[in-house]
Amino acid sequence: MNNSRSDFPILDQKVNGEQLVYLDNAATTQKPTSVLNSLVHYYEHDNANVHRGVHTLAERATEEFEAARDKVAAFINAKSRQSVIYTRSTTESLNWIASSFGNSVVNEGDEIVISELEHHSNVVPWQQVAKCQHATLKYIGLTADGELDMADAEKQITDKTKIVSIAHASNVMGVINPIKALTKLAHQHGAYMIADGAQSTPHLKVDVQDLGVDFYAFSGHKMLAPTGIGILYGTPEVLDQMEPAQFGGEMINEVHEQAADWKASPWKYEAGTPNISGAIALGSAIDYLNKLGMDNIQAYEQEIVDYTLPKLLQIDGITVYGPHDPAKHTGVLSFNLKGLHPHDVATGLDMDGIAVRAGHHCAQPLMEYLSCEATCRASFYFYNTKEEADRLLAGLNEVKEFFANGIGKAERTL
């Protein structure tokens, strides 16, 4: 996997005089040259709107745009390309499900079940549905080591439950949730199952048919593609029930003065000019990931976590959130150093050229559950190395030294 680093020009730079160590991949991943080239090629050679023109550029753009849809469908093993809808992001996908589908199937007295692990984009839309429909929003708790508590899930999901919406992998705790088992439990009670795949799709092989979910959402920018392109997968049965969240050009079949009807899925959900270049670049990103192999990516990232997590736990005064067993972790490691604010730790690491995230990670209910305001988060991808993990560990010790003794890189270089 280390051979791939040369494909990412952004990694070959210095920050604050040090070689960049980019460990904020849960927020967004970097882009290989092949993906960047696909964007340039579209705008230099094929820039035209899709589906609407009969001239050569429009036909080429449409062909590439729809070919990318086929790549997405194959990547997640969707049964049909008609189940793959382009959106802007995971957030938009989840909002569309909530506002359109959720408000149509949830009624007064019904229940919606999410978990304490969720990103705000899988919390706030369901708060709004519950408020609008006079329904109850319930949370599945966590075990002592930060995993989803399946015993509690069996209590929370009842015959009153209409929607269960859970992250496939946590962006804070670094755990992979048992979506297949949750789907089975939800369906046993007649509920629909939604999975937030933002943190899983870039890191492991996803098979939506095997998972059995009704909806699956993910973002391109967390898997090498540009920002502003996302995917909403839905089974044909639920997409037939769901109404469009937006209206306008492209998604209509016919419009008259007092009425309109829609095209078939997926086009009825894609109003207006889409992110054509983003979709094409997402297809290029999938080509890149397929070339590496998702099983290989997952195995390599596991090696990095196996190497890093035990050493991280040995640092005096550190609290690591989530399981301490590397086998139960994705490449996301969240932690705090005793007595230090996460922003101070992240700033200190940045002085050494190490990019990590500090904050509540758009998961404030989880922060409240953990009784902390924020954490630091180092998140790895396949282009990271054990040497970079060592830089992180050394940097954390240097930050501790700086705040304990007032001696650190900044003062030593004066």
Show pLDDT as tens, one digit a residue, over the chain (414 residues). Answer: 767 899 999 999 999 999 999 999 999 999 999 999 999 999 999 999 999 889 999 999 999 999 999 999 999 999 999 999 999 999 999 999 999 999 999 999 999 999 999 999 999 999 999 999 999 999 999 999 999 999 999 999 999 999 999 999 999 999 999 999 999 999 999 999 999 999 999 999 999 999 999 999 999 999 999 999 999 999 999 998 888 888 888 788 888 989 988 888 888 988 889 999 999 999 999 999 999 999 999 999 999 999 999 999 999 999 999 999 999 989 999 999 999 999 999 999 999 999 999 999 999 999 999 999 999 999 999 999 999 999 999 999 999 988 887 654 444 343
Q: Give the closest residue to 273 by CA, choosing from 50, 89, 22.
A: 50
In 12-149, which ranges are continuous DSSP H helix?
33-41, 56-75, 90-96, 103-105, 124-133
Q: Is residue 362 annotated as a catalytic residue, yes or no?
A: yes
Q: Give the closest residue to 137 by CA, choosing from 155, 120, 115, 154.
A: 115
Residues of CATH 3.40.640.10 domain(s) within the chain?
Answer: 34-290
pTM: 0.95
Residue type, 164: V
- Choosing from 132, 362, 372, 376, the catalytic residue is 362
Tell me which CATH code domain 34-290 carries.
3.40.640.10
- Which 3 state secondary structure label does DSSP give 330? coil
Integer Cα distance of 232 and 209 in angstroms: 14
- Which 3 state secondary structure label does DSSP give 370? helix
Class of domain 2-30+293-412: alpha beta
Residues of CATH 3.90.1150.10 domain(s) within the chain?
Answer: 2-30+293-412
